[in-house]
């Protein structure tokens, strides 16, 4: 029996993270299974983030390699750079402002060793405030990755879950280096579709993604973070305005979603054969979105295409899997009447 242990790399991206970065670095230093290297890619910090990382590197129990970008790359491309620079077999993604539980590296590494066909593993997280005080919520609660979604996942239907909304946070994720190399470059032309969503989508289509239901990080929520759980810029639509606004205003966000998914579909086609079984599910979601996004102005002409999607079960499957029958019905009726 081989005693080979996969080499482990941590890929951390930083940008003006001086306030919290030392806590994150120390939590990596305190792992029960230490990584073999830490790669830090800084996206042009103007505070003393780099100085703190450099000081940490002098005393760390593992090599720390620091890269500073000449021009700002943004979150997705910065993580792509950091992951590409890693030399390990297993790559752990690290945000600059979280805190890892001591067993994170050990538990995720074990999941890979027990599941050789899996390329991505992720865990749950505890949401904390900027002082690491518990917010009494887990990440999976917020993104609605509950028992029903987890059961779908285990049945090989994870792509259906992800097509309703991403459940995988990069800061809880580890990936195989060989997988990252196979899906480069990461798409950067779709708003809100970041590096972690891309890796989760591809692995899901290939049924190569698994989860472990443990809280392995403290996921810090604060005003200055680049990515978090708080939805930004959303405005509620009142019942009165739903029926008084132009039909085009109702369709606009659906058209944007359809356009984004069309781009995602094109990117996926680059790395996955169209014959892959789960690819059909993406095509079906795209057809569902495009049907809703381009319903005619005449309400009577909306009835038949909406009814067809209803009879196929697509309003439950692709709009909101947690909705009651009444909620699903109201969504379909809204497509006809609004």
Q: Hey, where are the domains in the chain?
A: 8-220, 239-337
| pTM (global) more than 0.85 | yes
**154, containing H or E segment:** helix 147-154
- Where helices occur in the chain by DSSP H, the ranges are 21-29, 49-59, 75-85, 104-114, 139-142, 147-154, 158-164, 177-182, 195-205, 239-244, 247-271, 279-293, 299-311, 314, 325-337
- Given a cut of 50, whether residue 169 has pLDDT beyond it is yes
Task: Summarize pLDDT for 298-330 with one digit per residue, the tens.
Answer: 999 999 999 999 999 999 898 876 667 888 889
Which range, of 24-33, 66-75, 235-244, 273-282, averages the lowest pLDDT?
Answer: 235-244
Q: Left (φ > 0), alpha (ψ -120 to 50) or beta: where does 211 sit?
A: beta
Please choose, from the candidates 227, 115, 114, 230, the residue with its C-alpha nearest in 3D space to the C-alpha of residue 171: 227
Tokens representing residue 180 in the block = 């990252």
Question: CA-to-CA distance for 164 and 161, rounded, in angstroms?
Answer: 6
Tens digit of each residue's pLDDT (9 = 90 or more) over 251-296: 999 999 999 999 999 999 999 988 888 999 999 999 999 999 999 9
Which among 236, 250, 244 has a CA at the least distance from the CA of 292?
250
Residue 211 pairs in a beta bridge with 122
Which residues touch 315 (CB under 8 Å, ≥6 apart)?
A: 309, 328, 331, 332
CA 52, CA 49: separation in Å to the nearest integer?
5
Whether the Cβ atoms of residue 17 and residue 43 lie closer than 8 Å to each other: no
Q: Which two tokens stand for residue 161?
A: 């879950």
Q: Which of 105, 93, 19, 20 is nearest to 61 (CA)?
A: 105
**pLDDT band for position 35 (50/70/90)?**
very high
Q: What is the mean pLDDT of residues 157-181?
A: 96
Q: How far apart are CA 324 and CA 316, in angstroms?
A: 9
Other Cβ atoms within 10 Å of 164 Cβ, number: 17
> What architecture (CATH level 2) is domain 8-220?
Alpha-Beta Complex (3.90)
């Amino acid at each position: 029996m081989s005693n080979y242990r996969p080499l482990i790399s941590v890929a951390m991206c930083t940008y003006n993270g001086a306030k919290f970065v030392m806590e994150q670095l120390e939590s990596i230093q305190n792992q029960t299974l230490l990584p073999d290297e830490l790669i830090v890619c800084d996206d042009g910090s103007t505070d003393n983030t780099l100085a703190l990382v450099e000081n940490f590197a002098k005393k760390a129990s593992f090599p720390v390699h620091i890269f500073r970008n000449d021009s700002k790359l943004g979150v997705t491309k910065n993580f792509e750079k950091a992951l590409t620079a890693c030399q390990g077999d297993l790559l752990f993604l690290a945000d600059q402002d979280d805190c890892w539980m001591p067993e994170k590296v050990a538990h995720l590494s074990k999941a890979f060793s027990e599941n050789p066909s899996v390329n991505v593993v992720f865990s749950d997280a505890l949401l904390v405030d900027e002082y690491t005080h518990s917010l009494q919520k887990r990440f999976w609660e917020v993104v609605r990755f509950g028992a029903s979604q987890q059961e779908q996942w285990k049945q090989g239907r994870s792509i259906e879950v992800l097509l309703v909304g991403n459940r995988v946070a990069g800061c809880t994720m580890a990936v195989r280096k060989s997988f990252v190399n196979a899906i480069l470059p990461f798409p950067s032309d779709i708003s809100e579709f970041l590096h972690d969503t891309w890796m989760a989508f591809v692995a899901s289509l290939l049924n190569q993604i698994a989860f472990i239901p443990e809280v392995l990080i403290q996921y810090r929520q604060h005003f200055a973070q680049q990515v978090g759980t708080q939805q930004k810029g959303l405005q509620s639509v009142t019942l009165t305005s739903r029926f008084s606004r132009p039909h085009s205003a109702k369709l606009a966000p659906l058209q944007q979603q359809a356009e984004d998914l069309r781009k995602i579909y094109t990117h996926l086609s680059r790395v996955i054969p169209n014959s892959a079984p789960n690819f059909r599910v993406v095509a079906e979601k795209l057809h569902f979105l495009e049907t809703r996004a381009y319903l005619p102005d005449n309400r009577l002409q909306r009835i038949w295409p909406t009814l067809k999607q209803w009879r196929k079960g697509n309003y439950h499957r692709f709009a909101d899997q947690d909705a009651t029958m009444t909620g699903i019905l109201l969504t379909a009726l809204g497509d006809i009447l609004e």
